[in-house]
Amino acid sequence: MKRKVLFVSQETVPFLSETEISKITRNLPQGIHEAGKEIRVFMPKYGCINERRHQLHEVIRLSGMNLIIDDSDHPLIIKVASIPSARMQVYFIDNEEYFQRKAVLTDDKGKFFEDNDERSMFFCKGVLETVKKLGWTPDIIHCHGWMSALLPLYVKKAYVNDPHFADTKVVYTAYENGFDGSLDVKLSNKLVQDGFNAEDLEIISEPSFLNINKLAATYSDGVIHGSATLDPDFVAFAESLDAAKLSYQDEETYVKEYSEFYDRIAENDTIFAE
């Protein structure tokens, strides 16, 4: 039986411009698929993505759910597009309030959106609920970029008793590109409404880029260095965890090394300990 890998990324080429994250999350899934694994890819449907050019269309059977964020209902819309040259599809998490603005993470003056914390919550919850609706159970969920950093927490805590993810392992790749300052300081309060307790969220009492990455690493079964250089504080923190670790890999090695890393984690039942 083919091992199943779910890729969750805040950005992917060709739908957004090329960055370290968007480039690897375009090429890695293709390489992993060609290596014999089954894949799915998810990213947010930012308003700047040209739906006509990339031939996005709504998946009616997957849309229609409402997700509660900070005690308010937000409709979940799922769209999909194909990358013919890679023979793979990309699923998009969409919502009019969070993702229809014509920008990604900042406004036209470069100001960080105040609701990026809620956009991250909606994205992570939307991915997990959509995967359940697909009836597709991943062996590995591989998260790329801070927008996906809450997903390990959701899998290991909010969905811990959900049989759909009972055997799913989570891998988080940390990159150096992030944000200055912090997300909304009320993020922990919003997450408490999803059933988390104060102890679960202690690391993000100040939701800085560093601390968001630490949170993701804490609840992951594997941590990967996605950039050649990372914050030494994060590196030291990650090394202190029981999670499996993989150092930075260049373009010549990462498909093979990541594929073997997935296999090692999927076969190990004792990596993550609460």
Q: In the 3-class helix/strand/coil scheme, how is 12-33 assigned residue by residue?
A: CCCCCCCCHHHHHHHHHHHHHH
Give the model confidence (pLDDT) of 159-168 as tens digits. Answer: 999 999 999 9
Between 270 and 221, the more confident residue is 221
* Confidence band for 109, pLDDT divided at 50, 70 and 90: confident
Do the domain assignments include residue 274? no
Instruction: Let me know: does 204 contact 187? Beta carbons within 8 Å.
Output: yes
CATH code for the domain of 155: 3.40.50.2000
Instruction: Report yes or no: 158 and 195 within 8 Å, Cβ to Cβ.
Output: yes
Structure tokens at 96: 């009019």
SS3 of 139, please? coil
Q: Which SS3 state, helix, strand or coil, does residue 39 take?
A: strand
Q: Residue 134 above 90 pLDDT?
A: yes
pLDDT tens track for 136-157: 999 999 999 999 999 999 999 9
| Domain-located, residue 273 | no
pLDDT band at 273 (very low <50, low <70, confident <90, very high): very low
pTM of the model as a whole: 0.96
Position 274 confidence tier, pLDDT thresholds 50, 70, 90: very low
Q: Is residue 234 part of a domain?
A: yes
Q: How many domains does the chain have?
A: 1
Look at residue 271 and tell me whether its pLDDT is greater than 70.
Answer: no
- pLDDT for 110 equals 85
Question: What pLDDT score was predicted for residue 154?
Answer: 98
Establish if 128 belongs to a structural domain. yes
For the chain, the average pLDDT equals: 95
- Using the structure block, give the residue that is written with the tokens 């937000």: 74
pLDDT at 97: 96
Q: In terms of residue numbers, what domain contains 76? A: 4-266
pLDDT for 269 beyond 80: no
53-62, 105-114, 144-153, 224-233: segment of lowest average pLDDT: 105-114
Q: Residue 83: pLDDT above 50?
A: yes
Residue 210 DSSP code: H
**170: β partners:** 141
pLDDT band at 255 (very low <50, low <70, confident <90, very high): very high
Instruction: Give a yes or no: residue 119 inside a domain.
Output: yes
Residue 80 has pLDDT above 80, yes or no: yes
Task: Indicate whether 256 belongs to any domain.
Answer: yes
Least confident of 56-70, 100-114, 232-246: 100-114
The least confident of 66-75, 80-89, 155-164, 170-179 is: 80-89
State whether residue 58 is helix, strand or coil: strand
Residue 272 belongs to some domain of the structure: no
Task: Considering only residues 135 and 274, tell me which one the structure prediction assigns the higher pLDDT.
Answer: 135
**CA-wise closest residue to 3 among 174, 206, 171:** 171
Name the phi and psi angles at 106, rounded to 5: -135, 160
The pLDDT of residue 175 is above 90: yes
- Domain assignment present for residue 141? The answer is yes
